[in-house]
Structure 1
């Protein structure tokens, strides 16, 4: 948000930011979402592991988690943004994970949902990543809102 303000970036659409502390227990973004929201992108982390495609050097775009697939059109839109802006990304699934997007969906929100984030090696304790993963995630967010 600070970057957007400091660089006088004019978003194409209205943007609402929600900082949740409860995505891990399934009710993080289950309320307080404006009714006119048409796209909901959760920004969390992509944890590389066995049989995963994620990387701690790229932005990770989740196609499916433990609750099912995310919106196909929105995922493709994010991939297109990456391709058009030379953003390094990985598509992956997280079969043992849920996100704030899932919480909003389960609460009945009618929107398109996606999940992105930097590739984080390990979680819940000593998380570590490469700075390039953070930068690629920032580039995707900024390019998407333009």
Structure 2
């Protein structure tokens, strides 16, 4: 299975998502989107395939969201896309693409539904157990 992850290695959720992909026995194509931002057309395509609004994939925390006035509901998608192009950090992460779909994986365990079965136990960086030794979602997940 081909897997693409739009990844920020400084983000714990993104690192956990990448680790869950690898825990399913896959090595994804990693796009460090802050170094290699997706094009406007790619962002539009990803959002369409997710079946969500563009606002769903905009990150507020730790970004210039407020300073740019992006909470204004009258802003068009074109204006939001232009802001993302100028400030790729506004694109929320991680976004994962597989043959099973496209999803913003927040929380990281959202990626499990896009993957083959997990190969073993998985614990997030914060100690939360997500997958048990049998490769099944843990009761707390």
TM-score by length of 2: 0.33
When Rg is computed on C-alpha atoms for both structures, the one with the higher figure is 2
TM-score by length of 1: 0.32
